[in-house]
Chain A
Amino acid sequence: MTDFLELDVRPVLKAGGEPFAAIMEAIGKLAPGQGLRLLATFKPTPLFAVLGSKGYAHEEKEIGGGDWQVLFRPTGAAPTGASPLPAAAPADAAAWPAPIREMDNRDLDPPEPMVKILAATEAMQSGEVLAALLGREPIFLFPELAKRGHAWRGGFEPDGSTYRVLVRVGAGQGAPK
């Protein structure tokens, strides 16, 4: 039976905060074999890959009111050294500067949102962050960002229909997945 440390990031999220640093800190504090029980206001899909690369399996369930409980269980597998995902580099988790550009691409015809984001990143300096609002998860954008060595984070806003993605230019490992 895995013992779980509980972390409730719902207050942070409701206050408009970014709980990523707190989550990574909690993961760092876990005893060997211990898991993390995370409570959030949305399904934290981005975390699955991040913590997967650190050797945690996830098991999520909706607990009502739009809230989610995710159990991260250590799999015993060694963490992958060089994370395959630029977005997954936890060391730089807290180090993202405020976005220098915000775009609202929600009403653009696909694939215009993707074209606009990639065009904007070409004009930005390494380390700068772009924020964009989208009508859906930009699943075809992520492989392009990875190929170009950009890092990203994203998730649905509490309204469930707006997807907010943050792209940090040229800050990733540059390893195309």
Chain B
Amino acid sequence: MTGVSLSRWTMSYFAAALLSLLAAESLMAIGFGFPGVPTEAPATLVLVHLVALGWLSLLLCGALFQFVPVLVAQPLHDNDLPLPTLLCFAGGLVLLLCGFLHLDGTVPWDLPLLPAGGTLLALGFALVLYNLGRTLWVGRPLPLPARFVVAGLASVAVAATLGLTFTYVLGNVTSASPLIEVTAAGLPLHVVAGIGGWLTFTAMGVSYRLLAMFMLAPEEKRRSSLVALWGGIVVLLLAIVGGCVAIFLGRDPAPVLAIAALLAVPVLALYGFDVVHLYQRRKRRRLETNSLMAAPALASLGLAAALIVVLLALGALPRFAGAVVYLVGFGWLSGLGLAQLYKIVAFVTWLECYGPVLGKTQTPRVQDLVVEKRAKKWFYLYFGAVWLSTIALIADQPLAFRGLAVLLLVATLGLGVEFVRTRRLVDVAKATRLPAGARQPRLLHAFSPQH
């Protein structure tokens, strides 16, 4: 019962993540990568990994370093390790992106860029698994949201292992034939484990607790949540293990993946049902921006699930997979991420700055650190642009997509400015900003005693 202190490097993760998102949106605005070029083009690989690794994975890791301890009421195993971990991620990502660009000759250097990048990234994920794994281990028996996180971490291990294999094969480090087969046919499994297992499943688990916490909804043990957890694990196992078996038998993994995609729909529906229940049972009647803006993100997930069903029925899923992945990545994962970032940055900044003087002197409230009206405007612009972009992708209008990417970039920049203002306490009235004993938080890291 030692309680939970602030995660020291979470803000650095958030900053690196936001920079990656801004970079990706800038590339989309200038027409780099999909949809201007095919999905498997090196430029698209750069874009996808900038979003999935640079933005979403770093965001999720930063958030987990703070919230896994909250989920299991245990201190983080090692509060210093996240910094070297972040350096592995940053270095690995840059090398990986250069390696992709080397594939089509944009980057001329004849260096083992892909294997080096893959190795560093795998090391980064291994350190995350070690740190969070040790923390979770002490916290057994695990509450439901933490079980989702465990499944997510297992998925990232699979996604990273597959990714590492691809970089070794493409970088000519190995020519073992099973590894070459995996590289030739394993891309869908890498995507399912990464986006489905790691990013989506982990976000679902964390959202159970975050939504309940911030909306003051009771955390009931619901059968539907339990079925969502185990059903989701079955779907992931079917897709990943079944897909691997298909590849090693020399068959096309597509039918197994289609069945898994169909089975994922009721799992997502149960999750949606639980979340609607949380919103209905909340005691906090007036929704704060973070909970309000989680709603369009959740709607995007529902929309993506509906699209998958319709496209499977029409046999057109492969053709429009890009639009579905975009909606999942930007509407659901990024939307939810930005909405929760808005609250998390304010909350941890408030706790770091005013925690030591609470009760001793007049202190601002958490909501005094933000200006909700201004942020809401950026969120509306963001979700509007994402939904219109999805339509532009389905309608095959790359030029409209680029224009909308500019709006997306503007909205993200707007939110980024809000986060920095919150961290720097710019919107807090001067008279109460820094009472005696309070310390101005640093932009990129938190002061916290060991643990």
The range of chain B's interface size is 20 to 34
CB of B2 within 8 A of CB of A142, answer yes
The answer to whether A154 and B1 touch across the interface, beta carbons within 8 angstroms, is: yes
Type the 1/0 row for A110-145, where 1 means its CB is closer than 8 Å to any CB of B: 110011011111100000000000011111111111
Bound: A7/B219 CA distance, A: 31
Known: A137-B73, A161-B218. A111 touches B213 (CB 8 A): no
Give Cα distance in the complex from A110 to B365, angstroms: 10
Per-residue interface assignment for chain B, residues 331 to 374, with 1 indicating a CB less than 8 Å from any chain A CB and 0 otherwise: 00000000000000001001100011011100100100000000
Interface status of B438 (Cβ within 8 A of chain A): no
Q: Is B214 an interface residue (CB 8 A)?
A: yes
What residues on B are CB-neighbors of A62 within 8 Å? 141
* Total count of chain A residues near the partner, CB < 8 A: 38
Distance to closest chain A CB from B188 (angstroms): 40
User: A142 contacts B451, CB within 8 Å?
Assistant: no
Inter-subunit contact B1/A177 (CB<8 Å): no
Cβ–Cβ contact A109 & B3, under 8 A: no
B5 touches A143 (CB 8 A): yes
- Asked whether B351 lies within 8 Å of A122 as measured between CB atoms, the reply is no
Tell me if A87 counts as interface (CB < 8 A to partner B): yes
Residue of B nearest to A118 (CB): B359
Note all chain B residues with C-beta closer than 8 A to A60: 141
Which of chain A's residues 63-91 have a Cβ closer than 8 Å to chain B? 85, 87
Decide: B358 and A115 in contact? CB cutoff 8 A: yes
Report yes or no: A46 in contact with B1, Cβ–Cβ below 8 A. Answer: yes
How far, in angstroms, from A137 to B356 measured CA to CA in the complex? 19
Q: Does B141 contact A140, Cβ atoms closer than 8 Å?
A: no
Q: Contacts A46-B1, A111-B350, A177-B449; is A139 near B355 (CB within 8 Å)?
A: no
| A49 at the B interface (CB under 8 A) | yes
Instruction: Tell me the smallest distance from the CB of B283 to a CB of chain A, in Å.
Output: 6
**A49-B3 contact given A109-B284, A137-B73, A177-B451, CB 8 Å threshold:** no
Cα A162 to Cα B3 with chains together (Å): 17
Q: Is B399 an interface residue (CB 8 A)?
A: no
0/1 string, B404-447, CB within 8 A of A gives 1:
00000000000000000000000000000000000000000000
Question: When the two chains form their complex, are residues A177 and B2 in contact, meaning their CB atoms are under 8 A apart?
Answer: yes
Interface residues of B in 61-84 (CB under 8 A from A): 69-70, 73
Q: Kindly identify, within residues 88 to 111 of chain A, every residue whose CB is under 8 Å from any CB belonging to chain B.
A: 107, 109-111
Beta-carbon contacts under 8 Å, B279-329 to A: 283-284
**Minimal beta-carbon separation of A40 from chain B (angstroms):** 15
- In the complex, A45→B214 CA distance in Å? 24
- Tell me whether B70 and A135 are in contact (CB under 8 A): no
**Nearest chain B residue, comparing its CB with the CB of A114:** B358
Q: Does B391 contact A (CB under 8 A)?
A: no
A78 to B421 Cα, complex, angstroms = 49
11 contacts between A and B (CB under 8 A): A49-B2, A107-B216, A109-B216, A118-B359, A120-B359, A135-B216, A139-B3, A139-B4, A139-B70, A140-B351, A146-B2
Chain A residues with CB under 8 Å of chain B are 45-46, 48-49, 60, 62, 85, 87, 107, 109-111, 114-115, 117-122, 135-147, 152, 154, 161, 176-177
Closest A-B pairs by Cβ, 8 of them: A142-B3, A118-B359, A119-B359, A118-B358, A122-B359, A139-B4, A143-B3, A139-B3
